[in-house]
Every structure is written in C-alpha cells, then in structure tokens.
Amino acid sequence: MVAQAIHYQSRRSKGPLIPLSCATIPEGMIESELFGHKRSAFSDAITDRPGAFEEADGGTIFLDEIGELPLSMQPRLLRVLQEKKVKRLGENRERPVDVRVVAATNRDLEAEVRNGNFREDLYFRLAGFPITVPPLRNRPEDIPLLANHFLNRCAEEMGQKRPALRSDTLDALIEYTFPGNVRELKNIIERALIESDGKTILRRHLHFEQNRDVPPEAGDLRDEVQAVDSLIQSVISERLSYGASLDRFKRRLIEQTLHECSGNRSKAARWLDMHRPNLVALIKNLGLTTDRKPAD
C-alpha cells in the first residue's frame, strides 16, 4: 500500500508499478526474474524475456521481502542500482533502465548486516529514505477503518449483504494485539463473516490466534462460589430488599471484574458479555470507581 501511494502520487504515476517478492521466487530463478534472460540461456528459456527492472522502466519496481534476497545475488543488484543498467542472463550487452526502487522487509537489516547476511553497501544504497510502518498493535485507531474496509470487501466478494459490526465486537478487535498484523485482521474478519448469520458480526465470531482470556482454574472457581455464598449470607442477615440485594451483587461483580481487567471497561464488558455502553451506564448508576483511569 505504501509503495502504491508513493508511485501513484509521483511524477512516475503514468509508468508501470512492478511488484516482485524476493521470498517467493526459487533461488535459481531470481536473476532471470529481476534482469531477464536470453533465449537458450538455460534449459527452459525458449524465448527472450525482459526482467522486472526492464518492465518497470519509467516507473517503479517494488522489491518485497528484500531481506530474503540470497547473498550471492546482492552484488548483482547493487551494480544495477549504481549503474542503472541491466544485463539479461546469457547476454553480453547492457540495457539502460530508469527505475525508482522501493524495497520492503520485516527483518532488521542493520542486524542482518552485522551478522553477515546482508551486504552493507547494498543496505546503504537501498536505505536512501527509510519509512517505518508501525505494527497494527501500535496504531489501534486504524483498526475500525481497516475492519470495515475488509468487511465491505469480503461481503462483496462473497456476493452477500454487508452485516453490521457491533460496537463491542469492534472493541474486542481494538483490544487485540494482532501478532499477524493487517493480514491477520483480514483473516479474522473473513472468518467472522462466514460464521455470522449475515446480519451482525458478534464477539463469538472472532477467532484470535492469541487467546488472552484464560479460563479460571478449579481453585479460582471454588473461591468465587465461596464469595457468592458469603454475599448471600450477608444479604439474608441484613434482611435487605430484593432490589438492594441485586444492586449489592452487581456492585461486587462489576468491581471484581474491573479489578481483574485493570479498570479497562471494554475488556470488562467482554468478560461480562455486555454491551460496553450498558456497562458504563451501570457503573455510573451504582456510583462505582475504578482502580485507575479506564483504558478505553
């Protein structure tokens, strides 16, 4: 997405944008894919073929997963970047190319350089203007936008009407850390759409790789039962009315849940299987305070 934004908002926008993933090409084919080949250069080369750099002439080439480029190929790429010329495999003459190069990686290339897995001169040649794309967990404000985008797109691809995304469902997405980044969000939305009734996406339709809501152990359950029994006994001994008894129970339950959730009302609402606005209203009606400012 960043590469597309750079390309289509630049003076090269009328030229081609050629993406190439360095991680998906077999090592023996990378040179041919990047720089092209001459007919009969190898057994399967039945015709002359330009490489990605020639195809991107006048535009942009996007080298995805550049950290996966084999060390043996890095000097050749460095030469092309420096000379702005390519030589097809099996051919002697060089062809000039005018290409902007955008490269992406999820590796720490500085560490790869120190470990001898990536050439230092190639790294500095590529790192003319670094752009860091933060992981999704560091930009939760993007989650609603992306979730709705994927929901619209997936519904259209499946040929069905777009279901509603409830506020507590969206809260659950915002709370999640997304170790798989944007791709994981897309997968979660797609699966939720398949499992939903076609009208509403509920929390139970979300399937996270990292389940943070760990079920209580048996000992914890016994403690909870004893706490409830103690509460009931206190209500009976004080001869409280039904309404007052219910309020005391709600207060105890919500206070304990908020404590376990460190004051996070969105997470507490999920644990109690409530809509967050309803929980907030109940907290206000009962006059409750949290241990710290809620992390909304």
Q: Which domains are delineated in the chain?
A: 2-126 (3.40.50.300), 136-205 (1.10.8.60), 218-286 (1.10.10)
Which band of pLDDT confidence, cut at 50, 70 and 90, is reported for residue 266? confident
**Per-residue model confidence (pLDDT) at position 248:** 74
**Per-residue model confidence (pLDDT) at position 258:** 81
**Long-range Cβ contacts of 209-217 (<8 Å, 24+ apart):** 209/179, 209/180, 209/184, 210/176, 210/177, 210/179, 212/176, 213/270, 213/271
**Per-residue model confidence (pLDDT) at position 273:** 74
Helices (H) and strands (E) in the chain, counts: 13, 9
**Per-residue model confidence (pLDDT) at position 214:** 38
Spatial distance between the Cα atoms of 114 and 110, rounded to a whole number of angstroms: 6
* pLDDT value at 86 more than 80: yes
Mean pLDDT, to the nearest integer, of 44-55? 85
User: One-letter amino acid identity for 89?
Assistant: L
Spatial distance between the Cα atoms of 293 and 115, rounded to a whole number of angstroms: 45
Burial of 265 (0-12, 13-18, 19+ CB in 10 A): buried
**Per-residue model confidence (pLDDT) at position 26:** 86
**Per-residue model confidence (pLDDT) at position 219:** 42
Alpha-carbon distances, residue 1 vs 4, 127, 171 (angstroms): 5, 19, 25
* pLDDT value at 97 more than 50: yes
Q: What are phi and psi of 278, to 5 degrees?
A: -65, -40
Spatial distance between the Cα atoms of 234 and 176, rounded to a whole number of angstroms: 39
Spatial distance between the Cα atoms of 176 and 117, rounded to a whole number of angstroms: 34
Spatial distance between the Cα atoms of 193 and 224, rounded to a whole number of angstroms: 36
**Per-residue model confidence (pLDDT) at position 275:** 77
| Lowest-pLDDT range of 85-94, 101-110, 235-244, 256-265 | 235-244
Paired with 50 in beta bridges are 36
Which band of pLDDT confidence, cut at 50, 70 and 90, is reported for residue 292? very low
State both tokens at 269: 């609402």
**Per-residue model confidence (pLDDT) at position 240:** 59
Q: Which of 35-39, 50-54, 260-264 has the highest mean pLDDT?
A: 50-54
| Lowest-pLDDT range of 22-26, 139-143, 247-251 | 247-251
Find, among 267, 257, 244, 253, the residue nearest to 291 by Cα. Answer: 257
User: Whole-prediction pTM value?
Assistant: 0.62
Contacts of 89 (CB under 8 A, 6+ apart): 31, 32, 35, 36, 37, 38, 41, 42, 45
Which band of pLDDT confidence, cut at 50, 70 and 90, is reported for residue 294? very low
Contacts of 95 (CB under 8 A, 6+ apart): 54, 85, 86, 87, 88
